[in-house]
Amino acid sequence: MKFCSNCGSDQLRQRIPEGDDRPRYVCDNCGMIHYSNPRVIVGCVPEHEGKILLCRRAIEPRSGLWTLPAGFMENGETTLQGASRETWEEARAEVYEQQLYRIFDVPNINQVYMFYRARIVDGAFGVGPESLEVDLFTEDSIPWDEIAFPVVFHTLKEFFHDRDNSTWPVRVSAIKR
């Protein structure tokens, strides 16, 4: 960080503010403490007639690999709104019956992932600007060796396990380096 977002000063330094327990950027000019907190990634596990909708990424990181439709939550939206928006943006699919399904903490990259189970309205989908290709997959047809991210791989494996057992717990875990 080079400039204070409050006053524009370049008088920033890292130090532990009084009452805190970790270094933060603090502006020596106005005293503003700048917090750097984890980013929240939201998405869906969109299902239609027993198949899961996946997107082949057109952007880095992991361009060309398959993922669930997901992305960074925006200010002013709920996690559910963000997951639905990302599903539309990446896969041109509207979803309904969204239920929170999976939460991953990934502390080494300062991220939190939240996935919702969802159904696709009328089974309609298409290619969004961040996708090269979008398609529905059965468990057996998923390109498992081409899944972009560990959180997506784990979510898909657990989804099929839970579907086979007709149980839908909200799972919470951490992926540690």
Q: Domain residues of the chain, as ranges?
A: 1-36, 39-174
Q: How confident is the model at residue 177 (pLDDT cuts 50, 70, 90)?
A: confident
Q: What is the mean pLDDT of residues 78-106?
A: 98
What is the rounded distance in angstroms from the CA atom of residue 68 to the CA atom of residue 168? 18
pLDDT, tens digit, 9 for 90 and up, residues 7-20: 999 999 999 999 99
Q: What is the mean pLDDT of residues 80-101?
A: 98
What pLDDT shows up at residue 151?
97
Q: How confident is the model at residue 58 (pLDDT cuts 50, 70, 90)?
A: very high
What pLDDT shows up at residue 39?
96
Q: What is the mean pLDDT of residues 132-154?
A: 98
Let me know the angle formed at the C-alpha of 94 by 79 and 154, rounded to the nearest 5 degrees. 55
Q: Which amino acid is at 161?
A: H
What pLDDT shows up at residue 71?
97
What pLDDT shows up at residue 15?
95
- In this model, does residue 31 exceed pLDDT 90? yes
CATH architecture, domain 1-36:
Single Sheet (2.20)
**How much is the mean pLDDT over the chain?**
97
CATH code of the region 39-174? 3.90.79.10
Q: 133, 55 in Cβ contact below 8 A?
A: yes
What is the rounded distance in angstroms from the CA atom of residue 162 to the CA atom of residue 26? 47
